[in-house]
Chain A
Amino acid sequence: MLSCKEVAARASALIDGELTLWERAQMRLHLTICKGCSAFIAQMRVTRALTSIPVAPVAADNDARISAILAEAARRL
């Protein structure tokens, strides 16, 4: 039986689908009887979702910078 520590160490591999069938079965077995680890895996799923949201584009007030970049690139060509 995996320990909680081992389950936590494999959390990302589990939610990213990188475990083998056997490893997954071992994880499931532990998770069915361990509330703490189930909560932990759920938190890691939320964390993965929240860290996979694209950051909003920067505001369109960078005209001067964009012009400077375009001018510099043109100068160096």
Chain B
Amino acid sequence: MTDRGESALVVRLVAGERAAFEALYRRHMAALIRVAMGIVESRAVAEEVAQDTWVAVLQSIGGFEGRSSLASWIFAILINKARSRASRDGRMVSFDAGGEEDNLAAAFDGRGHWKDMPELWDEVTAERIVAGRTVLAQVTLAIDALPAGQRAVLILRGQEGMEAGEVCAALGITEANMRVLLHRARLTVRAHLDGLVRGVG
């Protein structure tokens, strides 16, 4: 679904207005590279794929019909390009949630009780993290260490604020699969933050 602001932006892009493109580029470029980095082998290749994506976006913006948001359309192009680049380089990338266990598997005893009880993150400790290492930078660090599928889901659904259905369409996964990936991704980020809190506290 396209809101009025987005239609206006599309019109400006079709007209070839540089400022419109610049705004779009600045808003999404970092996330495009981060999503691509989960799929291709290096940051350099991810940057190349992101550049290619922008060229493709400008080439086909005239045919954009607003059936999805502009962002999800752009990310779908990126993911296609990143995947074909990865397979050309002999890399197999799957967004499937199957197989890998989540990081809580070892957190419980045989009866399903916590071995080590989680404790509330008190605000003072959280503030100390924010002051010391900037908590958002830590969140980004943790996201960028996730496997491709979890990383893409957390960036698109969380940081880019895309609708669940749009994330699924862009990645070619089911909604059930997306929920599993989102949950696992959050578990890992939570564990990272908990480690920091305990370390600081």
Contact = CB atoms under 8 A, between A and B. Distances in A.
Interface of A: 3-6, 8-9, 11-13, 16, 18, 35-37, 39-40, 42-44, 46-48, 50-55, 57-60, 62, 65-66, 68-70, 72-74, 76-77
A76 B89 CA distance: 25
Given A52-B159, A52-B161, A69-B51, A36 B114 contact: yes
A44 B59 contact: no
Given A4-B108, A53-B136, A70 B21 contact: yes
A73 B58 contact: yes
Contact of B25 (A8, A42, A66): A66
B137 to A, nearest CB: 10
Interface residues of B, number: 47
Contacts, number: 125
B170 interface: no
Contacts of B113: 3-5
The B interface, classified by DSSP as helix, strand, loop or mixed, is helix
Contact of B30 (A5, A51, A52, A55): A55
Contacts of A57: 26-27, 30
B187 to A, nearest CB: 8
B186 A51 contact: yes
Which of B21, B158, B189 gathers the greatest number of chain A CB atoms within 10 Å?
A: B158
Contact of A40 (B31, B118, B139): B118
Contacts of A65: 51
B30 A60 contact: no
Given A13-B179, A46-B121, A66-B25, A5 B159 contact: no
Interface string B84-118: 00000000000000000000100110011110011
Contacts of B190: 43-44, 47
A29 B8 CA distance: 49
A12 B182 contact: yes
Interface in B152-201: 154, 158-161, 179, 182-183, 185-186, 189-190, 193-194
Contacts of A13: 179, 183
A69 B160 CA distance: 23
A54 B193 CA distance: 18
Top 4 closest pairs, chain A to chain B, by CB: A3-B112, A73-B58, A36-B117, A5-B112
